[in-house]
C-alpha cells in the first residue's frame, strides 16, 4: 500500500523546505518519491494533508554527551533534555536551542536528525527525507511559517 503525505512544508534536512510537497511511502515507511509541486504537475488524489510541517524522525544517541563538560556551557533545561534523550526530550532540545539560544530551526533540526545519523553510521537509512530511506516521519504543528521556526504552542506527532 502506497501513502502520499503532504503538509504546509516538508523539511528534508539536506535541502531547503518544500512548500506543499508530497512524500510517497510504501507500507514499510520507505520513501519512494518526494514531489515538489513547484516543479511538477501533480495529481492530488489520495494525498493525506496535515496542518504543519513534516520532518524526519529523530535519531537517539544518549551515549554521545559527557554531561559534566556540558554543564558549564549550557543551561540546565538543555542539560536535562540531553540526560533524558527520549523522543520528547529531543523535541524539547530543539525548542530550547531555537528559543533560548536563537539557533536557526534548520540547524537545530539537522542536529537532531542527519548529524546524529552520521554519528551512528546510519546516514544511508535515517536522518533525512530522501528517496530510499526509512527515517520515520514526524508532524510538527503550530509552526511559524513567516519566521520558519517553532512557536510556544508547537507540538509533535509520529506519523510513520
Q: How many angstroms separate the CA atoms of 78 and 101, rounded?
A: 10
Q: Residue 93: what pLDDT?
A: 83
Q: With contact defined as beta carbons under 8 Å apart, do 128 and 113 qualify?
A: yes
**In the chain, domain spans:** 3-57+128-158, 62-119
Question: Would you state the pLDDT for residue 23?
Answer: 97
Q: Could you please report the per-residue DSSP string of the chain?
A: --EEEEEEEE--SSS--EET-EEEE-TT--EEEEE-TTTS----TTEEEEEEEEEEPP---GGG--HHHHHTTS-HHHHHHHHS-SHHHHHHHHHHHHHHS---HHHHHHHHTHHHHHHTT-TTTSSS--TT----EEEEEEEETTTTEEEEEEEEEE--
Tens of pLDDT, residue by residue, the chain (160 residues): 899 999 999 999 999 999 999 999 999 999 999 999 886 666 667 999 999 999 999 877 654 444 344 444 444 544 444 444 445 578 888 998 898 889 999 999 998 899 888 888 899 999 999 999 999 999 999 999 999 999 999 999 999 9
Q: Which CATH class is domain 3-57+128-158?
A: mainly beta
Return the pLDDT at 62.
54
Q: What is the pLDDT of residue 73?
A: 47
Amino acid at each position: 500500500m502506497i501513502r502520499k503525505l503532504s503538509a504546509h512544508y516538508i523539511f528534508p534536512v539536506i535541502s531547503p523546505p518544500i512548500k506543499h510537497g508530497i512524500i510517497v511511502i510504501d507500507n514499510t515507511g520507505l520513501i519512494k518519491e518526494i514531489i515538489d509541486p513547484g516543479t511538477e504537475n501533480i495529481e492530488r488524489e489520495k494525498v493525506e494533508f496535515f496542518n504543519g510541517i513534516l520532518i524526519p524522525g529523530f535519531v537517539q544517541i544518549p551515549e554521545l554527551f559527557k554531561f559534566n563538560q556540558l554543564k558549564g556551557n549550557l543551561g540546565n533545561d538543555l542539560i536535562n533534555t540531553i540526560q533524558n534523550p527520549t523522543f520528547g526530550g529531543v523535541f524539547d532540545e530543539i525548542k530550547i536551542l531555537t528559543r533560548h539560544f536563537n539557533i536557526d530551526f534548520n540547524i537545530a533540526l539537522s542536529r537532531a536528525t542527519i548529524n546524529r545519523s552520521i554519528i551512528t553510521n546510519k546516514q544511508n537509512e535515517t536522518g533525512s527525507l530522501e528517496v530510499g530511506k526509512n527515517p520515520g516521519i514526524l508532524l510538527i504543528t503550530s509552526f511559524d511559517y513567516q519566521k520558519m521556526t517553532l512557536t510556544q504552542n508547537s507540538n509533535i506527532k509520529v506519523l510513520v
